[in-house]
C-alpha cells in the first residue's frame, strides 16, 4: 500500500484562462495547458513520454502530443467516471513514473463546458448509450431524474432529514468558496463574494439545491506534470511530493445514482479513498494544513468532511458552522482557490493545481506554513484523492 508514497512529485502546473467562451478548440486548450505546465516545471515537450487524461476528454493523447510537439510516448491512459478521475490521473502518472514505464507524465483535462456541451443540462444521450451505463441511466432519465443537480438533490434531501442539517449549512461552503475566489485574479468570480442571504435567495435548481449550491460550467484547461521525487528536486519550482494517491469504488456503486445502499446520505467510496490516503502517507486528517474538496455541489463537500475523518457522521454541519473554520487561519482552510463554485469547474484538476501552490507557498490565499494538503476528486461516482506534501 505504501510503496508509491514519496516516490514521485508534481513538478509543474499550468492552465489556460477560465471563461464562459474560450473562442478556441478543446485541443488548443489542452495544448496550451500542457505547454504552460511544462514551462512551469522547466521542461520541454521533448522531455515528455507519458500522457494521461479522462475518458470524457475529447483530446486523444496522440493529438495532444502532436499539437505540443511531444515526439514519442511510452505511456498513455484514460480514467473513467467523469470528475472522479481527477486525482486518479495523477495516481496513474505516478505509478508509471515510479515503475520506470515513463519519466515525465503529464495529466491534462480541457473542455468548452459552457460554450460547448453543457454537463449541467439534460442530455438524453447518456441514457441511450449502448453499454451498461446507458442501462443504468435508463432507470432514472425517463422519470425526470436526469441532471447532476437532481441526482445530488436526492442525497442532499436525505442528509437534511437524517442529521438535522439546514440549507444554510450547504450555503456556508458556497460563501467561503466565493470569499476565496474574490481574492483570486484567475477565478471567474474574482471580486464577487456572496453572503449567506445571497445563497438563500438564489433560485432552486433541484430542491433542496439552490443555484449557488451548484458549480459553474467553464471553458478552460489544466495540466499537471509528474516526475520522480529525485528529478523534481532539480527542477524550476519547489515540488509537491505525492505522499498518497488513491482511487475507490464502493459497494453497490452507480454513477451519481447509488440509491440502493443501506445508508443513502453517505459517500463510502470517498471513505475508502481516505483510508488509503492516511495509510499510504502515514498522516491523519488533523495533520492537514488545508483541504481542496471537490465541490460540484455543496452537500457533497459536507459529506466528504465526514468520510475523510475530519468529523464524525452527521457532524459536518457543526464543523462548518464554527466561525472562520474554513477560512485561511481557521481549523481547515477549504478550497483556497475558490473551488469549482468560485474559480472554475475543470473537473477538479484546478484543485490539484491549487494544492501544489499551497505546498509551494504561492497561493493567493496562502495558508502560512502549509506543508500537507489533501485533495479530492468528483463525488457520487467512483472517485480518487491525493495527499501532497512539501519536500
345 is catalytic: yes
d(CA 100, CA 80): 24
Cα 119–10–79 angle (5° rounding)? Answer: 35
Which one is catalytic: 75, 108, 300, 345? 345
For 166, other C-beta atoms within 10 Å of its C-beta total 13
Distance CA 180, CA 224 (A): 22
In contact, 356 and 241? CB cutoff 8 Å: no
Which of 304, 381, 363, 326 has the alpha carbon at shortest distance from 85?
Answer: 381
**Catalytic residue selected from 81, 141, 159, 294:** 294
Asked if 318 and 333 touch (Cβ cutoff 8 Å), the reply is: no
Q: How many CB atoms lie within 10 A of CB 181?
A: 28
Closest by CA to 212, choosing from 255, 168, 264, 250, is: 168
CA distance 88 to 3: 17
Is 75 a catalytic site residue? Answer: no
DSSP reduced 3-state for 262: coil
Distance CA 179, CA 186 (A): 14
Are 215 and 341 a contacting pair, CB within 8 Å? Answer: yes
- Sheet of 383-390: strand order equals 75-79, 50-54, 105-112, 219-228, 8-15, 240-248, 383-390, 372-376, 290-292
All 3 cell numbers of residue 280? 499510504
Could you say which DSSP state residue 304 is in?
H
Here the cell at position 372 is 500537507
Burial class of residue 142 in the structure, from the number of CB atoms within 10 Å of its CB (0-12 exposed, 13-18 middle, 19+ buried)? exposed
d(CA 97, CA 9): 10
Catalytic residue positions, numbered: 294, 345
Amino acid at each position: 500500500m505504501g510503496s508509491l508514497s514519496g516516490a514521485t512529485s508534481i513538478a509543474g502546473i499550468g492552465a489556460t484562462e477560465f471563461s464562459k467562451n474560450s473562442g478556441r478548440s478543446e485541443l488548443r486548450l489542452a495544448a496550451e495547458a500542457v505547454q504552460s505546465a511544462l514551462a512551469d516545471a522547466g521542461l520541454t515537450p521533448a522531455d515528455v513520454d507519458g500522457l494521461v487524461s479522462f475518458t470524457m476528454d475529447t483530446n486523444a493523447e496522440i493529438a495532444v502530443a502532436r499539437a505540443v510537439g511531444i515526439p514519442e510516448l511510452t505511456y498513455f491512459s484514460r480514467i473513467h467516471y467523469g470528475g472522479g478521475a481527477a486525482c486518479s490521473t495523477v495516481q496513474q502518472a505516478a505509478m508509471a513514473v515510479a515503475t520506470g514505464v515513463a519519466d515525465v507524465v503529464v495529466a491534462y483535462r480541457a473542455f468548452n463546458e459552457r460554450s460547448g456541451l453543457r454537463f449541467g443540462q439534460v442530455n438524453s444521450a447518456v441514457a441511450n448509450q449502448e453499454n451498461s451505463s446507458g442501462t443504468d441511466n435508463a432507470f432514472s432519465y425517463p422519470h425526470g431524474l436526469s441532471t447532476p443537480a437532481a441526482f445530488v438533490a436526492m442525497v442532499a434531501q436525505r442528509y437534511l432529514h437524517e442529521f438535522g442539517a439546514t440549507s444554510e449549512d450547504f450555503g456556508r461552503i458556497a460563501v467561503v468558496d466565493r470569499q476565496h475566489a474574490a481574492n483570486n485574479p484567475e477565478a471567474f468570480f474574482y471580486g464577487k463574494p456572496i453572503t449567506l442571504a445571497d445563497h438563500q435567495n438564489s433560485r432552486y435548481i433541484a430542491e433542496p439545491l439552490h443555484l449557488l449550491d451548484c458549480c459553474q460550467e467553464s471553458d478552460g484547461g489544466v495540466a499537471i506534470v509528474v516526475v520522480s521525487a529525485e528529478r523534481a528536486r532539480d527542477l524550476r519550482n519547489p515540488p509537491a511530493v505525492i505522499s498518497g494517491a488513491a482511487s475507490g469504488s464502493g459497494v453497490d456503486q452507480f454513477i451519481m445514482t447509488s440509491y440502493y445502499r443501506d445508508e443513502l446520505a453517505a459517500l463510502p467510496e470517498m471513505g475508502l479513498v481516505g483510508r488509503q490516503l492516511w495509510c499510504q502517507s502515514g498522516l491523519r486528517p488533523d495533520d492537514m494544513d488545508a483541504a481542496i474538496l471537490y465541490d460540484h455541489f455543496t452537500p457533497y463537500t459536507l459529506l466528504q468532511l465526514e468520510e475523510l475523518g475530519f468529523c464524525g457522521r452527521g457532524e459536518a454541519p457543526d464543523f462548518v458552522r464554527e466561525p472562520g473554520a474554513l477560512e485561511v487561519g481557521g481549523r481547515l482552510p477549504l478550497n483556497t482557490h475558490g473551488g469549482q463554485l468560485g474559480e472554475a469547474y475543470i473537473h477538479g484538476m484546478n484543485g490539484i493545481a491549487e494544492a501544489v501552490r499551497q505546498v509551494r507557498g504561492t497561493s493567493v490565499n496562502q495558508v502560512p506554513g502549509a506543508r500537507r494538503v489533501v485533495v479530492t476528486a468528483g463525488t457520487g461516482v467512483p472517485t480518487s484523492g491525493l495527499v501532497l506534501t512539501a519536500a
